[in-house]
Amino acid sequence: MRNFIIIAATIIIGLCTCLHNGGSRAAGEGVPGIVFLEERGSVLADQAGLVEREEELAAELLAWDVKIEAARQEQERLRKEIPVLERSAAAAEAALAESRARRDEGVEKLGRWVNLLYRYGPVSYLEVVLEAANFNEFVERAEVIKIIIAEQVRVLGELSDLTARIQEQVSACRLAQAELSARNGELAWKLREMEKSRAGREEFLNGLRREAGDLASRVIQSETFWSGSLNSLRYFIEHLNALPWDSLAPDKLLLTDKELGFEFSDLQINEKLFNKGDGDPAGFLVRNAPGQFTISGQDVSGGAGFRMDGVLVPGPGGKVSFRPGRIYLAGLPVSREALDFIFTERELTVDFGGFLHGYDLAEIRSEEGSMAVLLKVN
């Protein structure tokens, strides 16, 4: 019986050695196809996109700053020009008022002068004309009077033209002043709109930066979990041989006509192998379920870990194979392509023919909460 127990313990050691070979390959090489890496790549791609968008928004904000500064300079120029035009318009209006006063005064004087000379002068225009000696002298005298009156009218006309030009100048100044004021108001509105748009883009940029920071935190956290998973798996592999395998004893002996078997409960396996009291391997766990053998381990810091699900299959000549179904690192499943890369038949096969002492492995069966190892006489 003691020999059977030794044989059973040897088988378990061999199985764990299988896991060591597969795990060493997984931990030592860059494994393609892992879902975690795909997710990490997606997050990094999103982060790169956010950085690119952030650069675009920063350039857009810079362009907004240039536009706003140009508008402010234009507004400042208008603010300086408007008072100048106001002073010019005021001066033109003063000149216009003076010109109108001079024109009105000239018209009034001309009227009084003609009327006075005509009525009360030493020689009235009428007398000058009527006392002509003949018709030719009458025409000459009338022409002289016409020239005098025309000259006075010309002077008044020049005053009227000057008044009209000054009026046009005043109107132009007022129109320019109104246009500048309207332009200034339009610029003020555009400045408010541009600053509002810039503030919105800046808020969007800040949101992108926050999102990029969150993505960076996710990447760091995921990489930390990933590293913890690999560390826990590596720790498990490195300490397999130090586990107290010789302390295992079967919970139940299974006897049939042709087979001899041992049943080991999950409780005993975990207590004997992983609860020595030193605290290091306490995060590892073996669990059997119908048709499934599972080994899991948690990071020593209490974070993420690994889990391997599969079946133990005995082969000819005392060979035992572990056929993985699923592997999880940091809670994320490893893809089928990665499983095919990590595990091969050669790596997961161990030859125990030299330790069976006339027995062959018939079956290694996972039940709910226990593992049965069945032997048969060869």
Residue type, 320: V
Q: For 316-354, how does the pLDDT look when each residue is reduced to its tens digit (9 = 90+)?
A: 876 767 677 887 776 777 666 655 655 544 455 555 665
In whole angstroms, what is the distance from residue 186 CA to residue 63 CA? 20
8 A C-beta contact, residue 212 and residue 54 = yes
Whole-model pTM: value is 0.42
Angstrom CA distances, 219 to 27, 52, 87, 164, 301, stand at: 20, 18, 67, 80, 19
Every domain range in the chain assigned CATH 1.10.287.1490: 53-213
Residue 42, judged by CB atoms within 10 A of its CB (0-12, 13-18, 19+), counts as exposed
In whole angstroms, what is the distance from residue 324 CA to residue 343 CA? 8
CATH 3.40.50.300 fits domain 53-213: no
pLDDT at 236: 61
Q: For 197-239, how does the pLDDT look when each residue is reduced to its tens digit (9 = 90+)?
A: 878 877 877 777 777 777 666 666 665 665 556 566 666 655 5
